[in-house]
């Protein structure tokens, strides 16, 4: 009886501002009573007073507060009457019911203990993890966790503010499966009907359920207005598919679909989009994609990635994003690899689809049919380490020189060191041989190259901390000396080798080229120094700064075709700064500059100010000499108690033009949200612009209606989360 009085007092308490669920029947101190009983058929009964009549038709009347429990289900009322003929207990006055997924309150109820069914006449309820609540003319709950409502209203809004409401002739909620079905359903927002369906299935948790997903509506200048109506098919626990008709008013009807699978060792996705007879281009447009992964469990792994589009303009016309419209090549590959503590093998067959018509055939990447890479590292006596890198690859292309390349590089180094210092002398011997086709008559069909590589890598770590200080400061100098003699390589082809930008990784690489068609001759010294500030209590790096440069002793004679001999005595300086010293500020800065009048070569900076989860301001700047200079600002910031201003502005100073800009407003209440976004961006590689407008209505715990504005904001605003709070 004391338990019931405590529950009644708690239930009458004033709800919180955004609270949508009911108060529990039990107090927190007594919630352990919901632990399932050892015998699920046992019924426990407590009452303030108990009157019973024995005989052929025994009856019992309970009053003064009644509490019943069967397994993990609990019911309470002011009075109760036992009916042995119907194997039922009738509850009257302030009836409350509670199980792990449901709470119901009403004036009367019937508990059929034989079947485990309880039925309320005129009751209110809350159910599931979505804070759903409502009222119904009748509610029936069976022992399988299924709730059946007649004449029901359902919402996730708090009492007194039903901004959105679903009316249904009948609704069935399966709390175990996490899904609901409704008949004669009407969905209202602010009293205005926005959807009617004779039958509807919807989630009340994270469960998967076949059916129509929320339609997406949008517009763009290149394709007109569009509407997507996805249909989800929950085939099996480890298989599902989505079929999405997409109507583009300026182009026609596109059909898209994807199939996902998951087995004990493998997973993958098969996807395709098909637009027959585009109304603008009068061509059939399509895209297909297949991704697969298998983990064999014995060190071997397999990956498959296949993709193809019908034409070079596909992503520009139908992709819908700035990043998609800038794609120039599609990578298709079949890969196998093996990993062990000392040895790895990587094999693949790789092809590319070039979708930029401006790229000439002789400039397109080579196919690798096939490629096999091996890498081994073993410890030897006296602290020595032996290694071997090897490759066999066949380069194929419709234009130009093709053929096989064999590379082998044995290595030997000795790591000497202790706490805070290391010295590692090393020696490598690189041998490369080719078997070529389609060469000029004057060129060799089997050129080769062998070159020794000597190096000395050393570094130290100095630490400093003040007494009782939670922080530690380090200074970490590092030096790498490399000696590679000249070998004439002008007769070797160039299949996959480029000159990379200098950065912190390239600073300590021995070959100045990326790829093995060229091994750059050099005698050089790479110098770098890093300083860090660390928080000893958390291990968090609060700040780090690195500065480095390469010094050359003599000219570098090896070149790529079209390049000139390098004669500079030093490389550019490079610097990188990461700043996390203040809790709400993150700052990253990278800079490359030359000596004398050469000035800045490359610079990148990003600042994020985030004083709260819903307050984000990002500033970014990128510069590459003779290539680009861009500024970027993005934000998500409250402008009122429920309003949020979001946007991004990406500008090219070099072209004096905007690359992308979008601005929008978000509104959020306890049970619904609204996003309104206007966007303008470059949609093609030739600079053509496109405009779009998006409106998304989010009904919390139910669905969203309109465009997928949340995806645009997550992609364009670093740190933004689309989860409405």
pLDDT score recorded for residue 38: 55
Helix (H) / strand (E) element for 710: namely helix 709-716
Per-residue pLDDT for 718 more than 70? yes
pLDDT score of 417 more than 80: yes
Q: What is the pLDDT of residues 167-224, one digit of tens each?
A: 888 888 787 777 778 888 888 888 888 878 788 776 666 667 787 777 777 777 778 8
What residue spans of 556-692 are helical by DSSP H?
Answer: none
Task: Note the pLDDT of residue 39.
Answer: 60
Phi (first) and psi of residue 714, to 5 degrees = -65, -35
Listed in order, strand segments (DSSP E) in 625-688 are 628-638, 643-652, 657-668, 672-682
Which ranges of 468-610 does DSSP label H, i.e. alpha helix? 504-507
pLDDT digits 0-9 by tens, 640-691? 888 999 999 999 998 888 888 999 999 988 888 888 888 887 766 666 777 8
Max mean pLDDT range (289-293, 680-684, 685-689, 721-725): 289-293
Q: Report how far residue 327's alpha carbon sits from residue 314's, in angstroms, rounded to the nearest whole number.
A: 10
Q: How far apart are CA 253 and CA 256, in angstroms?
A: 10
Q: Structure pTM?
A: 0.77
Q: Report the range of poorest mean pLDDT among 134-138, 252-256, 321-325, 351-355.
A: 321-325
Higher pLDDT, 83 or 252: 252
Q: What is the distance between the alpha carbons of residues 639 and 511, in angstroms, rounded to a whole number?
A: 53
Lowest pLDDT segment from 6-15, 484-493, 522-531: 6-15
Q: Which residue in 28, 110, 29 sits closest to 68, CA to CA?
A: 110
pLDDT, tens digit, 9 for 90 and up, residues 548-583: 999 999 999 999 998 888 888 999 999 999 988 677
Which one, of 548, 554, 546, lies nearest residue 571 by Cα?
548
Match 């309109």 to its residue by tokens: 706
pLDDT (tens digit per residue) in 328-349: 899 999 999 999 999 999 999 9
First to last CA, the chain: 39
- Among all chains, which residue has been given the structure tokens 């009856």? 59
Rounded CA-CA distance 92/53 in Å is 19
* Model pLDDT for residues 585-640, shown as the tens digit of each residue: 999 999 999 876 778 899 999 999 999 888 999 999 999 988 899 999 999 999 98
d(CA 349, CA 369): 5
* Cα separation, 189 vs 186, whole angstroms: 10
Return the DSSP state at 362.
G
Q: Calculate the average pLDDT of the chain.
A: 85
Q: Which comes out higher in pLDDT, residue 388 or 201?
A: 388
Residue pair 166/149 in contact (Cβ under 8 Å)? The answer is no
DSSP 513-554: SBSSS----EEEEEEEEEEEEEETTT--EEEEEEEEEEEESS
* Cα(328)–Cα(488) distance, integer angstroms: 34
Query: pLDDT by residue (tens digit) across 60-92?
Result: 788 888 887 877 778 888 888 887 777 788 888
308 — pLDDT class (breaks 50, 70, 90): very high
| Residue 654 CA neighbour count, 13 Å, CB half | 11
In tens, the pLDDT along 99-135 reads 777 788 888 888 887 777 888 888 888 876 657 788 8
């Amino acid at each position: 009886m004391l338990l019931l009085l405590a529950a009644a007092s708690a239930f009458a308490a004033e709800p919180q501002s955004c609270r949508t669920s009911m108060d529990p029947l039990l107090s927190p101190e007594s919630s352990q009573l919901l632990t399932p009983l050892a015998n699920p058929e046992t019924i426990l009964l407590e009452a303030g007073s108990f009157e019973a009549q024995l005989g052929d038709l025994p009856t019992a009347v309970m009053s003064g507060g009644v509490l019943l429990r069967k397994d993990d289900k609990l019911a309470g009322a002011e009075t109760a009457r036992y009916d042995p003929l119907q194997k039922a207990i009738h509850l009257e006055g302030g009836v409350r019911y509670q199980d792990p997924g449901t709470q119901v309150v009403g004036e009367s109820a019937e508990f059929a203990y034989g079947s485990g069914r309880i039925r309320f006449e005129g009751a209110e309820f809350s159910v599931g993890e979505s804070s759903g609540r409502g009222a119904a003319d009748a509610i029936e709950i069976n022992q399988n966790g299924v709730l059946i409502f007649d004449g029901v209203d359902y919402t996730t809004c708090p009492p007194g503010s039903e901004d959105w409401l679903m009316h249904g002739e009948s609704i069935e909620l399966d709390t175990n499966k996490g899904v609901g079905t409704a008949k004669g359903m009407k969905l209202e927002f602010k009293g205005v009907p926005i959807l009617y369906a004779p039958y509807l299935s919807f989630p009340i948790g994270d469960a998967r359920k076949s059916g129509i997903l929320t339609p997406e509506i949008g517009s763009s200048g290149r394709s007109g207005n569009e509407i997507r109506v996805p249909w989800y098919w929950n085939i099996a626990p480890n298989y599902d598919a989505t079929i999405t008709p997409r109507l583009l008013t300026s182009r026609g009807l596109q059909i898209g679909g994807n199939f996902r699978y998951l087995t004990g060792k493998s997973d993958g996705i098969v996807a395709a989009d098909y637009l027959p007879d585009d109304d603008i281009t009068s061509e059939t447009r399509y895209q297909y994609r297949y991704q697969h992964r298998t983990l064999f469990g014995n060190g071997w792994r397999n990956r498959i990635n296949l993709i193809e589009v019908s034409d070079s303009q596909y992503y520009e016309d139908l992709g819908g994003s700035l990043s998609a419209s800038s794609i120039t090549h599609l990578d298709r590959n079949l890969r196998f690899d093996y990993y062990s503590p000392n040895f790895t093998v990587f094999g693949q067959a790789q092809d590319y689809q070039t979708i930029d018509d401006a790229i000439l055939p002789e400039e397109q990447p080579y196919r690798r049919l096939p490629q096999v890479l091996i890498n081994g590292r073993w410890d030897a006596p006296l602290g020595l380490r032996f290694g071997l890198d090897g490759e066999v690859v066949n380069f194929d292309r419709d234009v130009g020189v093709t053929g096989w390349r064999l590379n082998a590089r044995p290595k030997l180094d000795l790591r000497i060191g202790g706490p805070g210092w290391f010295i590692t002398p090393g020696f490598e011997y690189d041998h490369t041989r080719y078997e070529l086709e389609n060469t000029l008559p004057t060129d060799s069909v089997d050129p080769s190259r062998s070159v020794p590589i000597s190096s000395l890598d050393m570094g130290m770590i100095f630490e400093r901390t003040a007494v009782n200080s939670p922080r530690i400061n380090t200074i970490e100098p590092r030096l790498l000396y490399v000696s590679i003699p000249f070998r004439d390589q002008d007769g070797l082809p160039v299949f996959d080798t480029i000159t990379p930008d200098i950065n912190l990784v390239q600073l300590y690489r021995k070959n100045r080229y990326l790829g093995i068609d060229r091994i750059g001759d050099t005698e050089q010294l790479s110098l770098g120094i890093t300083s860090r500030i660390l928080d000893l209590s958390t291990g968090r790096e609060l700040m780090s700064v690195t500065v480095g440069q390469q010094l050359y002793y003599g000219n570098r004679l090896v070149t790529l075709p079209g390049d000139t001999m390098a004669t500079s005595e030093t490389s550019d300086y490079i610097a990188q700064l990461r700043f996390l010293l203040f809790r709400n500020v993150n700052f990253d800065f990278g800079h490359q500059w030359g000596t004398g009048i050469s000035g800045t070569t490359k610079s990148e900076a990003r600042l994020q100010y985030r004083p709260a989860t819903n307050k984000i301001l990002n500033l970014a700047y990128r510069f590459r000499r003779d290539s680009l200079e861009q500024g970027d600002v993005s934000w998500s910031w409250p402008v009122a108690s429920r309003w949020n201003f979001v946007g991004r502005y990406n500008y090219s100073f070099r072209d004096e033009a905007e690359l992308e800009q979008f601005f929008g407003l978000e509104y959020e209440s306890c049970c619904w949200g609204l996003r309104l976004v206007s966007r303008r961006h470059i949609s093609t590689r030739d600079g053509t612009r496109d405009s779009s407008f998006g409106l998304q209505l989010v009904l919390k715990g139910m669905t969203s209606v309109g465009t997928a504005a949340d995806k645009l904001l997550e992609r364009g605003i670093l740190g933004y989360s689309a989860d409405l709070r």
